[in-house]
Amino acid sequence: MSNKVITIERHIIDGERQHPGATGNFSAVLRDLTLAIKVIWREVSKAGLVNILGVVGKENIHGDVVKKLDVFADEAIYKAMDHGGHLCVMASEENEDVLHIPDDYPKGKYVLLFDPLDGSSNIDANVSIGTIFSIYRRVSNSGKGTLADCTQPGYKQIAAGYVVYGSSTMMVYTTGDGVHGFTLDPSIGEFLLSHENIRVPKRGRIYSVNEGNYRYWDEGVKKYIKYLQEEDKGTSRPYSARYIGSMVADIHRTLLYGGIFLYPGDTRYPKGKLRLMYEANPLAFIMEQAGGAASNGDQRILDVIPSTLHQKTPLFIGSEEDVALCKEFLQARTAR
Ligand code: AHM
Ligand code: MG
């Protein structure tokens, strides 16, 4: 690890310089997004003070209505990104329809998809939460972006990232050239390179799943989890269980320590709970770039052709060997 201090903005610009013909527009998108993230972080870090400073939904001392944090985060990203001239359209997990750029602002060639505050049910317990984003090139010709711009398959992403607001706040991103992590130094308000070229271990010894849903899983998932719980020192079993219930935090741990995170479909929710466009695709891009894998059980997440903006997908993601073994159980190819 070098001892040079590299801000995320410097890293993004240096990355773009590697590509001949780059205009700097793409760097500008990531730079604007980083600003929105800092605004969200500022509010998230004060979340426990809401009852002192003002109750959600009521007016605060300045006469502003105090917003729910997920609504605040959604608006913070939209407002930071709508006037830069680099995006043609956005879509957010919080909004049914695509988010158009206002008529009086220029439209650019990029598309931004985001989950503004993932795991927001954890806020009141001061548990880590996150923001997830994906960037695509537009497929429509010009003017306003369209739904088709926002429903491209994951392999078309040109960048993806997440922020985890945890014991420290970190931003992790990829532009298809490895995965890099930056830790926020709150005293100077800058994200500094702390985790260069993250590689997920080929195999881990942690599984992460909401086991309360066990009775609703299909046989393949049940057998796989039971297999991980059996003792076999040769394959590092039993695995440890870890489940935060904030996907960004669970995936961040999986990226650093290895293992598998799964949110399968079940008898109540055949497609599971997680969203393809806002959660599975960006995290799959990052995991693959770090040497891991992500599947819906049948196919690679990044190859799924989306049919709707908010569609859900089962997700099996993490170390390459763990995901491969999980898929064998799901497809019942192994007789155990
Ligand atoms: P959200 O987008 O409404 O916050 O829901 C997504 C979250 C993920 O962060 C997490 O992995 C999952 O929901 C947890 O779901 P469950 O409580 O069913 O285990
Ligand atoms: Mg979410």
Q: What is the CATH number of the domain that holds 167?
A: 3.30.540.10
**Cα(25)–Cα(28) distance, rounded to whole angstroms?**
5
Is ligand 1 within 6 A of the CB of residue 119? yes
Nearest one of 82, 78, 62 to 70, comparing CA atoms:
78
Return the ligand 1 atom nearest residue 93 CA: 2
Residues 218 and 149 in one domain: no
Let me know the angle formed at the C-alpha of 178 by 174 and 184, rounded to the nearest 5 degrees: 55
Domains contained in the chain, number:
2
Is ligand 1 within 6 A of the CB of residue 264? no
Residues 87 and 115 in one domain: yes
Domain's final residue, options 153, 174, 195: 195
**Cα(177)–Cα(15) distance, rounded to whole angstroms?**
9
pLDDT at 49: 72
Residues 29 and 51 in one domain: yes
Name the band, by pLDDT with cuts 50, 70 and 90, for residue 62.
low
Active-site residue identified among 30, 33, 69, 93: 93
pLDDT digits (tens, 9 = 90+) for 103-144: 999 999 999 999 999 998 888 888 999 999 999 999 999 999
Note whether residue 3 is domain-resident: no
Percentage of the chain beyond pLDDT 90 is 79
Return the ligand 1 atom nearest residue 278 CA: 2
Q: Which domain holds residue 59?
A: 8-195
What average pLDDT does the segment 203-219 reach?
97
This prediction has a pTM of 0.94
262 has a pLDDT exceeding 90: yes
Residues 256 and 296 in one domain: yes
What average pLDDT does the segment 214-220 reach?
97
If you take atom 12 of ligand 1, which residue's CA is the nearest one?
Answer: 245
Note whether residue 1 is domain-resident: no
Note whether residue 28 is domain-resident: yes
Can you say how many angstroms the Cα of residue 88 is from the centroid of all Cα atoms in its chain?
Answer: 21
Active-site residue flag, 118: yes
Residues 182 and 210 in one domain: no
If you take atom 14 of ligand 1, which residue's CA is the nearest one?
Answer: 245
Residues 129 and 181 in one domain: yes
Active-site residue flag, 218: no
Is ligand 1 within 6 A of the CB of residue 269? no
**Cα(91)–Cα(28) distance, rounded to whole angstroms?**
19
Nearest one of 10, 42, 2 to 189, comparing CA atoms:
42
The widest CA-to-CA distance across the chain, in whole angstroms, is 65
Tokens 């979340």: give the residue: 47
Domain's final residue, options 146, 164, 195: 195
Note whether residue 336 is domain-resident: no
The tokens for 285 are: 């891009």
Residues 24 and 165 in one domain: yes
Note whether residue 273 is domain-resident: yes
pLDDT at 123: 84
Active-site residue identified among 32, 74, 94, 322: 94
CB atoms within 10 A of CB 217: 19
**Cα(199)–Cα(256) distance, rounded to whole angstroms?**
7
**Cα(288)–Cα(238) distance, rounded to whole angstroms?**
25
**Cα(241)–Cα(314) distance, rounded to whole angstroms?**
19
If you take atom 19 of ligand 1, which residue's CA is the nearest one?
Answer: 210
Active-site residue flag, 70: yes
Is ligand 1 within 6 A of the CB of residue 210? yes
Q: How far is the CA of 4 from the centre of ligand 2 (A)?
A: 34
**Cα(221)–Cα(211) distance, rounded to whole angstroms?**
11
Active-site residue flag, 328: no
Note whether residue 2 is domain-resident: no
Stronger pLDDT, 194 or 50, i.e. the higher one: 194
**Cα(146)–Cα(98) distance, rounded to whole angstroms?**
8
Domain's final residue, options 136, 167, 195: 195
Which ligand lies nearest the alpha carbon of 273?
A: 1
If you take atom 2 of ligand 1, which residue's CA is the nearest one?
Answer: 118
Q: Are 42 and 53 a contacting pair, CB within 8 Å?
A: no
Residues 139 and 240 in one domain: no
Residues 113 and 231 in one domain: no
Q: Are 142 and 156 a contacting pair, CB within 8 Å?
A: no
Name the band, by pLDDT with cuts 50, 70 and 90, for residue 336.
very low
pLDDT at 60: 56
Note whether residue 242 is domain-resident: yes
**Cα(178)–Cα(88) distance, rounded to whole angstroms?**
26
pLDDT at 335: 45
**Cα(233)–Cα(202) distance, rounded to whole angstroms?**
17
Residues 224 and 190 in one domain: no
Note whether residue 335 is domain-resident: no
Active-site residue flag, 250: no
Name the band, by pLDDT with cuts 50, 70 and 90, for residue 79.
very high
Q: Please report, for the domain that includes residue 275, its CATH number.
A: 3.40.190.80
Residues 27 and 164 in one domain: yes
- Mean pLDDT of all residues in the chain? 92
Is ligand 1 within 6 A of the CB of residue 120? yes
Q: How far is the CA of 285 from the centre of ligand 1 (A)?
A: 19
